[in-house]
Structure 1
Amino acid sequence: MNQTDRWRLVLGRYAEQRLPMSGGGQLARMESALDYLYGREYAGRGGREGAGPGAAGSGGGPGSLDPSMPSIVDWLGEVRELFPSESVEVIEQHALDRYGLTELVTDPEILAKVEPSVDLLKTLLALRGQLDQRVLGEVRWIVRAVVEDLRRKLESEVRASFTGRRSLHRHSPLAVNANFDPRGTIRANLRNWDADGSRLVVEKPLFFERNARRIPWEIVLVVDQSGSMAGSVIHSAVMAGILAGLPAFRLRLVVFDTSVVDLTDVAGDPVETLMSVQLGGGTDIAQAVEYAAGVIEQPTRAVMVLVTDFFEGGPPSRLERAVRRLAESRVRMIGLASLDGTDQPTFDRAQAERLADLGMSIAALTPGKLADWLAEVTSR
């Protein structure tokens, strides 16, 4: 962004004649998002009704906070998408403290009317530290509704990855359509060929048997809870809840910013996990990786899944040393720039490449694809 465009964002759309916009659609979106909040200054300084940028569509006069709750949610989502995390924290704080946009964190009646969604949950997690005690019941209800919806969509897919693949050498007495063996069935019933009717009479359909796989591996799920990772934090919590319920499988769940919090005790309950996280703050990936190394008991039977944007707040050399030591001890590692299916996540590609050179697989995966990867790695 050039200097002119920066000044245009500072001065707002009423500077159009002197500073025409040159940054395209994204700059217009940024200006609109800032207008939604900072246009309220016009009313605060005695501007006439409708004069300020924030008056448009307010439905309640200059500086009104009357926009519907979905509009507030959409606006917060737009701010998080368009601006860096440091700016987002400032804008959200101004919205709450300076302009009184507090409905999301103070009014349980308004929250009770909002349709639960992943986007709403991202917003509530981002504002977790601001929540009034009176709204915690509604927040917990929203968290549970979103978690249950995600779990229903993901659980069968994830569990299928760990319950074994079809054995192409043994058949099962269980008639499961997905395991049908067409070639074996034809061979077994060739004696029943009806030449007159040109058809095969199948007396005994055959079905492949599935290999039951038990995975005596340690899985350490290490999740970055910085503000930009909200979607991945939500999906990581649901994924942890599913993995924690698999037999013969030991899961440890760790979240971090500049400190490390071990949430293994609540890993089986995604609602409690998400009510425990605190999005925002700095990022010390090295400290989290060092913690993971310290809790692994059998390195050759361990996998560390690191969910982060790889923007390291501390010295990169410390992180690289920690990853190198894990690789040397033969811990399998994967670094995920996204665990929510984001097509093009924003992450520090240079840092990720350096970790890949040290032996860490790097990807952006859906939970189902991560389960496939874990099943593949732990079957070797």
Structure 2
Amino acid sequence: MTIGEDERRRRWRLLLGAAADESCGRPAGRDAQVDAALAALYDNGAAGGGGRDRSAGLGGSAPRVARWLGDIREYFPSTVVRVMQTDAIDRLRLNQLLLEPEMLGAVEPDVHLVGTLLSLNRVMPEQTKGLARQVVAKVVADLERRIAQRTRAAVTGALNRAARVNRPRHADIDWGRTILANLKHYQPEHRTVVPERLIGYGRRGTAVQRDVVLCVDQSGSMAASVVYSGVFAAVLASMRALRTSLVVFDTAVVDLTDQLSDPVEVLFGTQLGGGTDINRAIGYSQRLITRPRDSIFVLISDLYEGGVRAQMLRRVAEMVASGVQVVVLLALSDEGAPAYDHGNAAALAELGVPAFACTPDAFPELMAAAIQRRDLMAFAERFADR
């Protein structure tokens, strides 16, 4: 769709701000209100000498911030609102204002806001905690709707395939694989395949088939990953065929497995920020693994190790040698690859352990691949090319 010169000039003016008044004209009406909302965030003290400062910014007033949050929800779609909220927290240092109920009630809940609230939950006043839990609960419910069904389907399918049998009952036949396995028996005159070998899914009832340990770095840079990990851990824990453990760490290690029935409690059991001792966390996780060849260990960390690096790598090598499927995710979020320790990632790759950033939408496929003991290095390379 082509746009006219006036519309093009209007858009450039909203993008560039007051510095473009002379060339693009001043906005009027609703555009002036949109411009003011943008200026409060992006022009406050940041004009850099080009043009005037349109706004005194959002200042330190919770009511003023709450009004601004209401404005941007009126003028912009929810996806843009979330970006602007995140920018406001980063650029204008609004963390403390999130402790005030009036502002917290005005924000658009999303994963980044939950991460910020979790980082503040130890200093949050009592009158704000209830509302903060409501915000977190809403985001968790939205995430569960997004990921639960797909995760259960992927994991259940992988478990069934891992238990494949060659004398299945009719209802358990995997027709796709059966046809592929019998193509050499194709009968042209009948235009059909004679299935001399049947391949089907095994049934193992409610027995625990795999042990899954999620070990999550809760340093400040991992906020979104902590949120997604908590929700995924709760979904996996709801599946009887899996025994799921959740361990979070900074310089200390906390086992949140007994809280997995309530992902909101899980998230409030974390404490974002602080140092990182990956070695200690892996050492604790090793004690949870009693069936190595039926176990999957997922470390979610940017790999900036504050503990004993050599011992960390030795522990990982021991798990790999014992048959544990080990995966390292540099992030479990929608943001892509974060800053991470390239040296540690390379050392893990030499041990045959992939280290890559994974989006939440790809995590079910990753778990399915790990359950079937597929080549996870190949999976990581394919995912990196997406």
Instruction: Settle same-fold status: TM greater than 0.5.
Output: yes
1:57 is matched with which residue? 55
Deviation at 1:378, TM superposition (A): 2.5
What is the rounded CA distance, in whole Å, between the counterparts of 1:267 and 1:247 in structure 2? 13
Deviation at 1:221, TM superposition (A): 0.4
Counterpart pick for 1:222 among 215, 219, 232: 215
Q: Is 1:356 aligned with 2:365? A: no
1:88 is matched with which residue? none
1:286 is matched with which residue? 279
AA aligned opposite 1:369: A
AA aligned opposite 2:139: V
Q: Which runs of 5+ in 2 are unaligned?
A: 1-39, 73-80, 181-185, 191-198, 374-386
Residues 75 and 247 of structure 1, relative CA distance in 2, 3 Å threshold:
same
TM-score, scaled to structure 2 = 0.65
Counterpart pick for 2:302 among 288, 291, 309: 309
Residues 316 and 244 of structure 1, relative CA distance in 2, 3 Å threshold:
same
User: Deviations for 1:89-116, whole angstroms, at most 9, x for unmatched residues?
Assistant: xx95xx66xxxxx32113x233223222
1:296 is matched with which residue? 289
User: Deviations for 1:122-147, whole angstroms, at most 9, x for unmatched residues?
Assistant: 22122223211111111111111001
Deviation at 1:339, TM superposition (A): 1.2
What is the rounded CA distance, in whole Å, between the counterparts of 1:289 and 1:79 in structure 2? 36
Secondary structure of the residue that 1:163 maps to in structure 2? helix
Residues 281 and 333 of structure 1, relative CA distance in 2, 3 Å threshold:
same
Secondary structure of the residue that 2:153 maps to in structure 1? helix
Counterpart pick for 1:78 among 74, 77, 87: 87
1:160 is matched with which residue? 153
Count of aligned pairs: 300
Residues 33 and 114 of structure 1, relative CA distance in 2, 3 Å threshold:
closer
The answer as to whether partners of 1:252 and 1:264 remain within 8 angstroms in 2 is yes
The answer as to whether partners of 1:58 and 1:64 remain within 8 angstroms in 2 is no
What is the rounded CA distance, in whole Å, between the counterparts of 1:63 and 1:55 in structure 2? 18
Greater mean alpha carbon deviation, residues 155-164 or residues 65-74: 65-74
Residues 219 and 54 of structure 1, relative CA distance in 2, 3 Å threshold:
farther
Deviation at 1:317, TM superposition (A): 1.4
Q: How does 1:156-195 map to 2 (within 5 A)?
A: 156-164=149-157
Deviation at 1:210, TM superposition (A): 6.2
1:271 is matched with which residue? 264
TM-score, scaled to structure 1 = 0.66
Secondary structure of the residue that 1:312 maps to in structure 2? coil
- Deviating above 4 A after TM superposition, structure 1's stretches of 4 or more consecutive aligned residues are 32-36, 53-56, 62-65, 69-76, 79-82, 165-174, 208-215
What is the rounded CA distance, in whole Å, between the counterparts of 2:82 and 2:359 in structure 1? 24
Q: Is 1:148 aligned with 2:141? A: yes
Deviation at 1:292, TM superposition (A): 0.4
Residues 330 and 116 of structure 1, relative CA distance in 2, 3 Å threshold:
same
1:21 is matched with which residue? none
Secondary structure of the residue that 2:340 maps to in structure 1? coil
